[in-house]
């Protein structure tokens, strides 16, 4: 049995652009949501978002290089550099053909698409950048990370809406388990805080319109939740086969032990009633790990702060865990980070890894009023110190895509 461990993490997020700052702010319940500054939101129903702050791509990339990348790729490259440094992976000592990259994105280069569409409309086809296509396409973050590192193993992008980042980790886990790779650089990246994205999500009435209270607007499992908050950034992990990691003396953060992926086959945006597909994904991950449901200590929920998601995810948890569901700790860190779409699952898997490593369960902040449909232990408003052995991370996406990864506290 090839075991798979996490040896490095990197984060660019609305609550911190390095692992230590990010984790401290998650533990402290810091909210990254505020009024959107990237464009004029005067005419938009939603005017709030969880933007990345104080990010300078030239801190991580050559200036010329950075100008030829969409923001989502810049975020992925920065997070990948941090994850590789954190893992102390030396590519000169690796078989490059056994190092792969899977970096997910739900939207890809939306900012580039909008800018170049405006150039075409206002200035004609001759003014569209020759870098438009390689900046826009969703696979380019994975491609650029491979170019940067020299990784020559399997390389692709997964696009499954809000489940993308978790699917990426799950497929990287499988690649190592199956012997197709010894090391995988994986995660997700997103930079969709743009006028067109907001216009589309506002038209769907998916975003919160609690513009007068940005810090309190993302309130998963609260009775007054009214929609999700768009976030942006990247989470990248270095996954390794255990013996490979041990041979080079790597610091092991946590172990990946299970993965489940399903589809609702129900509706383009709404989850299946009672979270049927999400429940099957959780059960598959538990079965894949070869443990019983009552061994799971913590669930980092998808928890988007939308009425249907939180209600049906709660029902899904009860379906899988039965009475034990009431003894589980469940939290949604989207209350702090907002919803990073295709990067959400990767950032949340990193949170699970750090929670296992340190023995700390982060809170679901912004809770004010109980919802009778959401009656589990959501670790409201205050995180707690607690030794945990197994943690699940859920991601549920438009199109009915469901993905769950199960992490374990590393035990040699």
Which residue is catalytic, options 302, 352, 367, 401? Answer: 302
C-alpha torsion angle, residues 362, 367, 369, 375 (rounded to 10) = -20
Q: CA 4, CA 75: separation in Å to the nearest integer?
A: 25
Write b or e for each residue in 11-29: b if 16 or more Cβ atoms lie within 10 A of its Cβ, otherwise e.
Answer: bbbbbbbbbeebbebbbeb
Q: Which residue has the tokens 């369960």?
A: 361
Pairing of strands 254-263, 183-190: unpaired
Which residue is catalytic, options 162, 219, 352, 374? Answer: 162
Q: Tokens representing 239?
A: 């996954």
Which residue is catalytic, options 167, 244, 339, 401? Answer: 339
- Active site includes 367? no
DSSP states along 301-327:
----S-HHHHHHHHHHHHHHHGGGGGG
* Alpha carbon 363 to chain centroid, angstroms: 17
- Active site includes 267? no
Residue 254 contacts residue 359 (beta carbons within 8 Å): no
* Alpha carbon 150 to chain centroid, angstroms: 24
Pairing of strands 183-190, 233-241: antiparallel
Q: Which residue has the tokens 């990345």?
A: 52
> In residues, how long is the chain?
412
Write out the catalytic residue numbers.
162, 302, 339
């Amino acid at each position: 049995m090839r075991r798979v461990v996490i040896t490095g993490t990197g984060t660019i997020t609305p609550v911190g652009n390095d692992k230590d700052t990010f984790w401290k702010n998650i533990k402290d319940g810091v909210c990254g949501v505020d009024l959107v500054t990237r464009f004029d939101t005067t005419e938009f129903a939603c005017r709030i978002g969880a933007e990345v702050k104080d990010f300078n791509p030239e801190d991580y990339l050559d200036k010329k290089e950075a100008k030829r990348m969409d923001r989502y790729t810049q975020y992925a490259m920065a997070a990948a550099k941090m994850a590789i440094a954190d893992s102390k992976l030396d590519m000169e000592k690796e078989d490059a053909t056994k190092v792969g990259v899977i970096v997910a994105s739900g939207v890809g280069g939306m900012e580039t698409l909008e800018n170049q569409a405006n150039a075409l409309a206002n200035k004609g086809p001759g003014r569209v950048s020759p870098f438009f296509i390689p900046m826009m396409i969703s696979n380019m973050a994975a491609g650029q990370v491979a170019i940067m590192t020299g990784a020559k193993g399997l390389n692709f992008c997964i696009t499954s809406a809000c489940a993308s980042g978790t699917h990426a980790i799950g497929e990287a886990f499988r690649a190592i388990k199956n012997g197709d790779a010894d090391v995988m650089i994986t995660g997700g990246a997103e930079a969709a805080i743009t006028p067109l994205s907001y216009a589309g999500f506002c038209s769907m009435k998916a975003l919160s319109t609690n513009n007068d209270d940005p810090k309190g607007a993302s309130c998963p499992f609260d009775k007054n939740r009214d929609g999700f908050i768009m976030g942006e950034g990247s989470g990248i992990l270095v996954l390794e086969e255990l013996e490979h990691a041990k041979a080079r003396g790597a610091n092991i953060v946590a172990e990946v032990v299970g993965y489940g992926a399903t589809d609702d086959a129900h509706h383009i945006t709404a989850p299946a009633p009672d979270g049927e597909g999400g429940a099957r994904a959780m059960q598959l991950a538990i079965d894949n790990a070869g443990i019983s449901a009552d061994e799971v200590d913590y669930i980092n929920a998808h928890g988007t702060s939308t009425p249907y998601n939180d209600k049906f995810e709660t029902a899904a948890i009860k379906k899988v865990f039965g009475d034990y569901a009431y003894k589980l700790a469940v939290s949604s860190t989207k209350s702090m980070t907002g919803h990073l779409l295709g990067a959400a699952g990767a950032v949340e898997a990193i949170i699970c890894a750090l929670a296992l490593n340190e023995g700390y369960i982060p809170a679901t902040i912004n809770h004010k009023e109980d919802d009778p449909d959401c009656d589990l232990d959501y670790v409201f408003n205050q995180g707690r110190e607690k030794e945990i052995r197994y943690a699940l991370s859920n991601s549920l996406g438009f199109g009915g895509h469901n993905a769950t990864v199960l992490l374990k506290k590393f035990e040699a």
